[in-house]
Amino acid sequence: MNLDFTEGELAFRDEAREWLREHVPAGPMPPLDTAEGFAARREWEATLAAARWSVVAWPEKYHGRDASMVEWVLFEEEYYRSGAPVRAAQNGISLLAPIIFEHGTPEQQDRYLPAMADGTEIWAQAWSEPEAGSDLASIRSTATRDEARGGWLLNGQKTWSSRAAFADRAFGLFRSDPTAERHRGLTYFLFPLDAEGLSIRPIAQLDGHPGFAELFFDDVFVPDADVLGAPGDGWRVAMSTAGNERGLSLRSPGRFCAAADRLLALWRERGAGHPHLRDRVVDAWLAAQAYRLYTWGTVTRLAAGGDVGAHGSVNKLFWSQLDVGLHEVALDLLGPESELRDEPWLDGYLFSLSGPIYAGTNEIQRNIVAERLLGLPKGGRGR
C-alpha cells in the first residue's frame, strides 16, 4: 500500500477541495427519490460537469480529467468530506460507463458518454426480475429478433430498478436464445424509458418515496445499435458491470469515512447521555478507517497491474455491513428523536438496509469468498 502521494496528486486534491468548498450547496436538497430532489441533482450534475468534476477519471474528450485511480479516490474523499449531494447519475457513471468504455462501439461511446457526464441522460439499472434477483442467470425476460427492422423485441418484467421512476434510460439483460445454457444466450441492451410498449410502475420504499420501479415490456423495439457487446455475450458483459458494482466504483471509502466523522460529531454532542455506546462509536469509526486502508491496498494492487476479481466480493461485504453499523450506532445515540421524519440519519439507515441485498446479496458474496478466495468446497460437497 502506498499512501505517499506525489506533488501532482496533492495539487489535484487541493484543487478539488477548493472547488467543492466554493460550490457545494449550503443547505440540504430534497430527497433524491422525489421529483424535486431528482431535478435538483440533475442541475448539480451539470454544475459538476461544467467544471469537469463529474467524471474525473474519464478522458478529456468526454468531460473528464484523465485522472489516475489514486486521484479519483482522493477526489471521492474530498467530495464526501465536503457534504456534497448524493449523485443521481451514479448508476450510469459507476456501473454502465466502464462497460461502455470496454465493450461499446465508438459510436455508442460518443452517443452516450457526454450526456451521461453532464446529467442530460440519467440511467437506471434494470437487472432483477420477480424470480431472478441475485441469480441473474435465471432471468426470463426475452429478446426476439426483428430482422425486418434490424433490432430486437423485448418482453417481460424487471423489478427493483434503481432510479427508474425518474431516469431517462436503462440498461438490462434479456434472454435472446431460450435454447442455450443458463449463462449463454443472454444479450445486454440499452433502451429509453419512454419507449413505446414500456410501462413503469414506481415502488415506494419504507419512507414512501419511489427509489425503485417495476418495468413491464410489451414488444419494446431496440435497434441493433443499442446492443452492448455481441448478441448472446451478455453474461460476460454483465459480469463486468457486477464487478464494478461490488468493487471500488460504487462505494468509495470517502462516503463511509465522512459518515464516521459525522458520527464522532454526534457523539461529542450526545455522548454524555450514552456512555455505554462509547465503544460502539469507536468500533464504527475504526471500521471506516480500516475500509479506507483496505481500499488503498486495492488501488495499489490495481496500479501494479492486478485486478479486483473475486476480491470485489470482500469489498461488498465490507462496505454493506459497515454502512448498517454506522447508522445503527447513530440512531441509538439519537434515541426516540431518530424517528423524526426529516432526520438524515434515519434516511441513511433505511437506505443502508438495502446494501446487504443489492449488488448481489451478501449470502452470494460469502459463497464467492469461500469458494474462490479461500478454496473451500461448494455447499453440499464433502458432507
Q: Round to whole Å and give the CA distance between 192 and 169.
A: 4
Closest CA to 95 of 162, 186, 41, 158: 162
149-182: burial string, b at 16+ Cβ within 10 Å, e else:
eebbbbbbbbbbbbbbbbbbbbbbbbbbeeeeee
Of the candidates 22, 245, 343, 371, the residue annotated as catalytic is 245
82 near 233, Cβ under 8 Å? no
DSSP, collapsed to helix, strand or coil, labels residue 269 as helix
CB atoms < 10 A from the CB of 382, how many? 7
**What residues does 167 pair with on adjacent strands?**
none
Q: Round to whole Å and give the CA distance between 372 and 309.
A: 10
212 near 162, Cβ under 8 Å? yes
47-72: burial string, b at 16+ Cβ within 10 Å, e else:
ebbeebbbbbbbeeebbbbebbebbb
Please report the sign of the dihedral spanned by the C-alpha atoms of residue 297, residue 300, residue 301, residue 307.
positive
The full DSSP string for 20-47 is HHHHS-SSPPSPTTSHHHHHHHHHHHHH
With helix as H, strand as E and coil as C, how does 133-198 read?
CCCHHHCCCEEEEECCCCEEEEEEEECCCCCCCCCCEEEEEEECCCCCCCCCCEEEEEEECCCCCE
Phi and psi at residue 53, in whole multiples of 5°? -115, 5
Q: For strands 151-158 and 198-203, give the pairing.
A: unpaired
- Annotation marks residue 245 as catalytic: yes
Active-site positions? Answer: 245
